[in-house]
Amino acid sequence: MSSYYSVIHVLKKSNEGDVVNLRGWVYRLRWLGGKVFIVLRDHSGIIQCVVDKDEARRFGKEISELGIEASIIIGGTVRFDKRAPGGKEIKVTELRVVGVSNNFPIKGGEGIDYLLDNRHLWIRSRRLTSIFKVKHTMLKGLREYFSSNEWWEVTPPILTMSAVEGGATLFPVDFFGRKAYLSQSAQFYLETLIFSLEKVWSVTTSFRAERSRTRRHLYEYTHLEAEAAWMGMKEMMTVVEEMVKAGVKKILDERLDELETVKRDITKLEQVLSNRFDVITYDEAVELLREKGVKIEWGEDFGADEERVLTQQFDTPIFVTMFPRKIKSFYMKVSEDNPELVYGFDLLAPEGYGEIVGGSVREDKYDTLLNRIREEELNPKDYEWYLDLRKYGSVPHSGFGLGIERMLMWISGLDHIRDATPYPRFRDRLYP
């Protein structure tokens, strides 16, 4: 056999009677009245392949080796049949089993722990396949946004010698006898690059050793971050809104089939494109929470419960701005109007999903930044190189970080973030 077609090519472009060759895996298998019905899957979709009685007898050994997830190559003729997935099926005239699969251990109805233990096999499921295709297209849309708006993609390291925000939530590693850390964020490295490239962004892996285990936390996640010289908070929030909308639009343009597979209500995503994102201050958010019966004191940070209540009041993502200084990082610029506040913003996804982006104006004054480091009882020597940026040609600048898996969780309507990444990392279990 030669000139193999993908399933999607056959479903969309083939005509009745066309002779085609396909290769893939057995997704479903049943025998009925001497016929064998094989649902073949490849990276692009599924198609029904029918082996008639006479052919089944002729194939003999190949038929006996068929099993769920066996890899096969088939040849046959395209037939139209409204009952078949996609409205077409293949009348099989050639069949070869490439890799047998006896008693595939996932048969349906298994619990989440079992599926996580067998993640290397469960990852073949149509649901996870669809989610990862959505993720690919989301990243494609985000990348296209930056490229079309004159941002430079860069490649910062994920090993750092500095405990960026204190060591409690960092993973230490031995780097040839010296202590280093797996990066929580590429922010500081990106800040060094704005002095030459002005507008930079990256996609890296980040690690957080927080003792959190919720439906939206990962210890290893994909981090899209951006920093820009000369930009204030409002300008950066505009970038975030445009970027998120670009990712959503790309998915709606290219991944409707996958969204249908994961049972996502696309009307909720369409609203994102047709409306501006609302902006409220931290103070306004606290008042709104109190009106909804949430007990919260001014100066407390928002957790998942508070963000869920807030986002349920809006149909699109919302920005929360101007946070209390005491709950935010030392590098955020303090408000000139109120020294208790910083120029920080979070973007919260609707439907209870909560924070997907965190950003701020960065402190650009040397003395102010040094004092903030001391206030947080951090060692200024660990930040000498970061402080240098404020000594030699400092400029106003701002940036943000986007959690790719959190954004994907919202867009795909997932119940848990573990399905937004191929191999989720948990404290008590490290999967292959």
pLDDT at 215: 84
Percent pLDDT > 70 in the chain is 97
Q: Do 43 and 132 fall within a single domain?
A: no
Question: Which residues form the domain of 277?
Answer: 119-420
Give the count of domains, the chain: 2
pLDDT at 167: 56
Residues 389, 45: Cα–Cα separation, whole Å: 51
**Would you say residue 1 has pLDDT above 60?**
no
Could you read off the pLDDT of 338-380 as tens digits, one per residue?
Answer: 999 999 999 999 999 999 999 999 999 999 999 999 999 999 9
**Would you say residue 165 has pLDDT above 80?**
no
**CATH number of the domain to which 82 belongs:** 2.40.50.140
Q: Do 329 and 409 fall within a single domain?
A: yes
For the chain, how big is the Rg over CA atoms in Å? 26
pLDDT at 33: 87
Query: What average pLDDT does the segment 307-326 reach?
Result: 96
Q: Do 326 and 390 fall within a single domain?
A: yes
Residues 163, 356: Cα–Cα separation, whole Å: 23
Residues 331, 381: Cα–Cα separation, whole Å: 15
Residue position matching structure tokens 């409204």: 82
Give whole-number Cα distances, 432 to 105, 116, 120, 142, 211, in Å.
17, 10, 8, 29, 21
pLDDT at 166: 55
Contacts with 166 (C-beta within 8 Å, 6 or more apart), sequence order: 376, 378
Contacts with 260 (C-beta within 8 Å, 6 or more apart), sequence order: none
Residues 227, 359: Cα–Cα separation, whole Å: 10
For 285-346, the DSSP string reads HHHHHHHTT----TTPPP-HHHHHHHHTT-SS-EEEEEEEGGGS-TTBPBPSS-TTEEEEEE
pLDDT at 70: 97
Could you read off the pLDDT of 324-338 as tens digits, one per residue?
Answer: 999 999 999 999 999
**CATH number of the domain to which 311 belongs:** 3.30.930.10
Contacts with 201 (C-beta within 8 Å, 6 or more apart), sequence order: 146, 151, 152, 153, 154, 190, 224, 225, 226, 227
Q: Do 203 and 92 fall within a single domain?
A: no
Q: Do 59 and 179 fall within a single domain?
A: no
SS (H, E, C) 61-74: HHHHCCCCCCEEEE
Could you read off the pLDDT of 259-301 as tens digits, one per residue?
Answer: 999 999 999 999 999 999 999 999 999 999 999 999 999 999 9
Q: Do 38 and 123 fall within a single domain?
A: no
State the first-to-last Cα distance of the chain, in angstroms, to the nearest integer: 35
pLDDT at 99: 97
Percent pLDDT > 90 in the chain is 87
Contact 171, 183 (CB under 8 A): no
Token code pair at residue 226: 């951006």
**Would you say residue 161 has pLDDT above 90?**
no
Q: What confidence category does residue 176 fall into, taking pLDDT thresholds of 50, 70 and 90?
A: very high
